Amino acid sequence: MSDTCLFCKIIRGEIPSTMVYEDDEFVAFKDIAPAAPIHLLLVPRQHIVSLQDVGPADREWLGRMMALVPQIAFDNGCEPGPAGGFRVVANSGAHGGQEVDHLHLHIMGGPRPWSARSIPNA
């Protein structure tokens, strides 16, 4: 946990959010500036800065995080199947366009067209 990190504050409930999923390892909440009709952020409770900071020792929880994506997407309105689906984005570091330095997956879906911000910070 970081005292100053925005997402750690959201996880601790110090900053309001619209939570859509919580377990003992991960939370998911609605992005405050959605780039798609459905735009969620899936975040590990552990303060890990970005994908640049993970390695082989992180395989298991990263696997659990990825495996949660379809469940969270479909529970929140993304449509299954080839005509539906979703986009998953992990911005990492300045060159990756990351603004909040706590690892997170953007889960975006819903009927197109999406907003011009369809790839966050692109």
Residues making contact with ligand AMP (CB under 6 A): 6, 15, 17, 29, 31-33, 41, 91, 97-100, 120-121
Q: Is 104 a catalytic residue?
A: yes
66 strand-pairing partners: none
Distance of alpha carbon 120 from alpha carbon 122, whole angstroms: 6
Tell me phi and psi for residue 19, to 5 degrees. -75, 135
Q: Pick the stretch among 13-21, 36-44, 86-94, 99-107 that binds Zn ion (CB under 5 A).
A: 99-107
Nearer to ligand AMP, 60 or 99 (CB): 99
Q: Pick the stretch among 7-15, 26-34, 64-72, 86-94 that binds Zn ion (CB under 5 A).
A: 7-15
Coil vs helix vs strand at 53: helix
Q: 2 is in the binding site of which of ligand AMP, Zn ion, none (Cβ under 5 to 8 A by kind)? A: Zn ion
Q: Pick the stretch among 5-13, 19-27, 61-69, 80-88 that binds Zn ion (CB under 5 A).
A: 5-13
What DSSP element (H or E) covers 27? strand 26-30
Q: 121 is in the binding site of which of Zn ion, ligand AMP, none (Cβ under 5 to 8 A by kind)? A: ligand AMP
DSSP annotation string for 66-117 = HHHHHHHHHHTTPPPSTTS-EEEE---TGGGT--SSS--EEEEESSSP--TT
102 binds Zn ion (CB under 5 A): yes
Catalytic residues: 104
